[in-house]
Chain A
Amino acid sequence: MALVHKWMNGTYSLRKCLKLSDASRPFLSTRFADYCSSGLQKPVATPGKASAQGNTEGGLQGDHQREVALDITSPEDKPEASFDKAIKDEIKDHLRRLKDDIVNHWIGPEGRPLHEVLMEQAKVVWQFRGKEDLDKWTVTSDKTIGGRSEVFLKMGKNNQSALLYGTLSSAAPQDGESDRSGYCAMMSRVQRGPFDIKRPYDWSQFNTLYLRVRGDGRPWMVNIKEDVDMIQRKNQMYSYFMFTRGGPYWQEVKIPFSKFFFSNQGRIRDAQHQLLLDKISSIGFTLADKVDGPFFLEIDFIGVFNDPAHTEEFAYENSPVLNPKLFK
């Protein structure tokens, strides 16, 4: 993101197209305020940067924006230097990832030798042994639509598990259109390669999902999202239930991928089809069981394995009453 920012800034200064840049710069700066990575300090520094490159009118605009901004004292040296440095760091990071990618390609898929990948029957995909493992996940609750549930994620005891805990509240948000509420969710971030290209998981050799969890008796829902480029398929996911037992013992949950049913926009659809495993983007856990109160879920690790005893391909038949077109 910072790269694109700098490139666009460079082109503006090259073109010396002040009117256009004046009009769009506030828009640009606010938009990049959302997507700011931690390396980037202040998006308002960019007008100051443009002014340093010799645009007098851009400098005026930059001055104006400097007054508006909160605590920039000397826009020329300190924020700029760190901004440049942040961009350089990011470029170096991406190039290093690209180099790793090319080198790994020679060794085998994902950097492991081919025979190891082909013969693999059980694979740990996510484990929780440190803070960097927690960064691969993001938690949401119905606070985004105005509800009152809270959810937090932290490392569990002795850094051996992750604890997802919070309070569920099914009080509907008073926005005039929703009459039900109360959900909490934890989703994995999409795996990214060099230059932020999406890298979906390929689990085509496995047929069962394995979770080692410890819950409090609440029913959860496991959602798997595929990597799709079409916007129309953005809200489609495959889900199944995960019932926790509660209690002090660790629970092993094995869900075959053939049991996942298809849903779009949060509703189960009539035309059901199998989950295809070659491009999995993310996995998520949702709690929405309409019971108010505190909850917790402790996850040790998430893996996939190939269960040789499971031969089912898909668990749900399509009904001719609901989809007559499929049966013509």
Chain B
Amino acid sequence: MYQLFTPIFFSCCSGDALALPRVTCPNHPDAILVEDYRAGDMICPECGLVVGDRVIDVGSEWRTFSNEKALKDPSRVGDAQNPLLNGGDLTTMISKGTGAASFDEFGNSKYQNRRTMSSSDRAMLNAFKEISTMADRINLPRNIIDRTNNLFKQVYEQKSLKGRANDAIASACLYIACRQEGVPRTFKEICAVSRISKKEIGRCFKLILKALETSVDLITTGDFMSRFCSNLGLPKQVQMAATFIARKAVELDLVPGRSPISVAAAAIYMASQASAEKKTQKEIGDIAGVADVTIRQSYRLIYPRAAELFPPDFKFDTPVDKLPQL
């Protein structure tokens, strides 16, 4: 009788620091297993044996389109994350209960604790909400909102402007973002959608530029032409004429020291008065945010050389010598 010894051996590697047993194919212990992430399997390339199963799927989340009338998609686990701005918030929030058992005898909900999510980022999330609200009032596109959020995050993390109201910093970030994207908004336009005064926004603006060590381009008259003219309902010809007038006026240095907004408003006034759609100084002042006396002052400076300021191909409804003289 021969006894058969079944040798018992551990499949542990001698050179490894880990003591975890690795799964190997029983027929091919040296083969490196191929991971099939779709099915969650580990397959031996030599013989095709499925060795491990129910491996966690590391692929992207998939949507089930089978059940269209269900409003809630049960395979979704939460809101789209914004990891760039939130510092990787992976906490789980417990929502309020919906059944009858979640309310105690007085009608108060039993489980109340869903407030403390991430106290350090709470102010930032609040500011993002405020930025979104402000931007929505003046119909700003997503790229400006994203840039504003990024700027706010940088300023908030730097903590150099910690004492200032977050709304003021948010408004100033919005102003800077509009400037950086090449579509500047005037301080007064930002004031109109924010509760902060122009003075405070201006102060925060300068502080933020210093803190982030960035700079912005100088505003020009042409930056505001399309917005002001379309708000006034002026046709493209008048808008192009006003842009030309304002640029020429600055080139000829007829308006030294005047704010580009005032010069733009005066140019729009001159162009509209020479065309069929005449706008009053008050209307232009309301749209541009300048006083009508300011438009009058700048208009008086450009009026003497009005003939050379108009573009050569402009169709005059009122000739240059009949323009109003204020």
Question: A and B from one assembly?
Answer: no
The chain A residues found within 8 Å of chain B, CB to CB, are none
